[in-house]
Structure 1
Amino acid sequence: MTQQVALFVTCLVDLMRPRIGFAAIRALEAAGCDVIVPQGQTCCGQPALNSGDHAHAAALAKQTIEALEPYAAIVVPSGSCAGTIRCHYPEIFEGDADWLPRAQAVAAKTYEVMAYLDEVLGWKPESISIDATATYHDSCSGLRELGIKAQPRRLLKAIDGLRLAPLAGEETCCGFGGTFCVKYPAISNAIVGEKADAIDATGADLLLAGDLGCLMNMAGKLHRDGSTVRAFHAIELIAGMGDGPAIGEEP
Structure 2
Amino acid sequence: MKVNLFATCLCDTVKAEVAKKSVLLLEQLGCEIVFPEQQGCCGQPSLNSGYINDSKKGIKNLIMAFEANDFPIVSPAGSCVASIKRYPEYLADEPEWALRAQDIADRFFELTQFVVNQLGVTQVGAKLNGRAVYHPSCSLIRKLNVREEPIKLLEHVEGLTLLPINHQETCCGFGGTFSVKMSEISGEMVKEKVSHISAVEPDYLIGADISCLINIGGRISREGKPIKVLHIVDVLMSR
Residue 33 of structure 1 and its aligned partner are, at CA, apart by 0.5
Q: For 2:38 and 2:123, how far apart are their aligned partners in 1? A: 30
Q: Displacement, 1:240?
A: 2.2
| Structure 2 CA distance for partners of 1:71 and 1:240, relative to 1, 3 Å | farther
TM-score normalised by L of structure 2? 0.97
Deviations 1:163-199 (A, max 9, x none): 1011221211101000111111111100000001011
Instruction: Render the CA deviation track for 1:76-95: whole Å, top value 9, x for unaligned.
Output: 11111011112x10111113
1:8 is aligned, of 6, 24, 28, to 6
Q: Which residue of the partner structure matches residue 249 of structure 1?
A: none
SS at match of 2:216: helix
In structure 1, C-alpha distance between the alignment counterparts of 2:166 and 2:178, rounded to whole Å: 23
| Aligned residue in 1 for 2:70 | 71
Q: Name the amino acid aligned to 2:82.
A: G
Report the CA distance between 1:28 and its aligned residue.
Answer: 0.7
- Aligned residues of 1:45 and 1:56 also touching (Cα < 8 A): no
The DSSP-based 3-state class of the residue aligned with 2:41 is coil
Identity fraction in percent: 37
Three-state SS of the structure 2 residue aligned to 1:75 is strand
Could you say what the CA RMSD is over the residues aligned between the two structures, in angstroms?
Answer: 1.1
Distance 1:45 1:164 in 2: 34
Q: Which residue pairs with 1:169 in the alignment?
A: 167
Distance 1:216 1:120 in 2: 28
Rounded Cα–Cα distance in structure 2 between residues aligned with 1:53 and 1:95: 15
Q: How many residues align?
A: 238
Deviates more, 1:109-118 or 1:125-134: 125-134
User: For residue 210 of structure 1, what is the aligned residue in structure 2?
Assistant: 208
Task: Tell me which residue corresponds to 1:24.
Answer: 22
Specify the SS of the correspondent of 2:47: helix
> How far is the alpha carbon of 1:18 from its aligned partner?
0.5
Matches of 1:239 and 1:118, distance apart in 2:
15
Deviation at 1:112, TM superposition (A): 0.3
With 95-104 and 105-114 compared, the bigger mean Cα shift is at 95-104
**CA distance in 2: counterparts of 1:224 and 1:38, whole angstroms:** 38
Contact 1:136 1:209 in 2 (8 A): yes
Q: How far apart are residue 64 of structure 1 and its match?
A: 0.6
For residues 24-82 of structure 1, give each alpha carbon's deviation from its aligned partner in whole angstroms, at most 9, with x where no partner exists.
Answer: 11111111100112111111001110111112221111011111122310001111101
Q: Distance in 2 between matches of 1:24 and 1:238?
A: 9
Task: Name the structure 2 match of 1:194.
Answer: 192
Alignment check: 8 A CA contact 2:124 2:236 kept: no
> Which ranges in structure 2 are unaligned for 5 or more consecutive residues?
none
Q: Distance in 2 between matches of 1:41 and 1:226?
A: 38
Q: Equivalences for 1:121-132 in 2 at 5 Å?
A: 121-132=119-130
Where does residue 43 of structure 1 map in the other structure?
A: 41
The code of the aligned residue for 2:204 comes to L
SS in 1 for 2:95: coil
The change in CA–CA distance for 1:37 and 1:125 in structure 2 (over 3 A counts) is: farther
**Would the aligned equivalents of 1:125 and 1:239 in 2 still touch at CA under 8 Å?**
no
* Residues 132 and 206, structure 2, Cα contact 8 Å, conserved in 1: yes
Cα distance in structure 2, aligned partners of 1:190 and 1:79: 24
8 Å Cα contact 1:135/1:165 also seen in 2: yes
Post-superposition CA distance 1:114-159 (Å, at most 9, x none):
1000011011344321111111111111111111111011111111
Tell me which residue corresponds to 2:79: 80
Partner of 1:245: none
